[in-house]
Amino acid sequence: MRTLRGMRARIRAAKSIQQITRAMKLVSAARLRRAQDRVLGARPYAQRMHEMMQELGRAGDLPDHPLLRKREPNRVAFVLATSDRGLCGSYNMNLIRATQNAIRDMGLSQEQVQLLCIGRRGYQFFSKRGFTIALYRPMPTSGAGIDDARALTDKVREMFETEQVDRVYLVYSQFINPVTQRPVVLPLLPIEPPRGEETPTKYDFIFEPSAPELLAQLLPRYLLTQVLQALLEASASEHGARMTAMTMASDNAGKMIQELTLVMNRLRQAAITKEIAEVVGGAEALKG
């Protein structure tokens, strides 16, 4: 049965929750601005590297390089970038589901898959289900940097070049805007020069320095750029998702407070009416 005391307690609890969600929203908004600036600042360089690799693909067959070697995908690694904390809506589950769908679509068994988890949520989910975790690193609260990307790139290169895995995929959330984040499963290794919408015409290139020397410098940098850009996108996406989730939570708490206040006022009016009726009834009884 609803009582005035119980309704007041529920209203106080809702107000406390609203204060917390508002504070988290403000913190996420501040972090999002910084993360968004880093993403937008890094995109031109990543796009130029993409275009350079696309042009390089027009040279036809490239010299042999460890990062270009194709093998049968018997062992596959997934680099999964999630968050360390929750309260960000369906952000983490969308990435985990994208990884599960990719594993299923490729027809891989659990024994054929290794995971490199950036962020505690993805690590907890897959480790509890018996998957091999080749690497775990927390997602920095302030956002991943070049050192995080370099450490991850070195581990991925080592696994691929020593043939521990035959292919590597990068799973992260692409930042569109604070409300929209899109899960992406990107082939990372072996490196394949990206192709445009139409089949590119092959050109005769003169390499200076030589093609092997150029690839030795360009391919590792291209790999590092892809990993860094993915981590920056993931950080911005996380803060955008959390800000959106906390905005909705604050709005819902406000609606709940209004509804509870309305119910409490009705209960109070009913109690006052009952007391007045009892007073009037008692007065009438004394007159009689």
Task: Give the number of other CB atoms < 10 A from CB of residue 98.
Answer: 19
* Spatial distance between the Cα atoms of 62 and 70, rounded to a whole number of angstroms: 13
Residue 146 is given by DSSP the state H
Which tokens hold the place of 247? Answer: 């905005």
* Tally: H helices and E strands in the chain: 5, 5
Cα distances from 285 to residues 211, 272, 273, in angstroms, run 109, 20, 18
Contacts of 197 (CB under 8 A, 6+ apart): none
Encoded amino acid at 216, one letter: A
Q: Is 88 a catalytic residue?
A: yes
Residue 125 is given by DSSP the state H
Let me know: does 264 contact 8? Beta carbons within 8 Å: yes
* Spatial distance between the Cα atoms of 151 and 135, rounded to a whole number of angstroms: 10
Phi-psi region of 25 (alpha: psi -120 to 50; beta: other; left: phi over 0): alpha
* Spatial distance between the Cα atoms of 26 and 247, rounded to a whole number of angstroms: 9
181 alpha carbon, distance to own chain's centre: 8
Encoded amino acid at 4, one letter: L
Catalytic residue selected from 88, 144, 219, 236? 88
Task: Tell me whether strands 181-189 and 167-175 are parallel, antiparallel or unpaired.
Answer: antiparallel
Listed residue (214, 269, 228, 240) closest to 36, CA to CA: 240
Question: Backbone phi, then psi, for 115, in 5-degree steps?
Answer: -120, 140
Catalytic residue ranges: 88
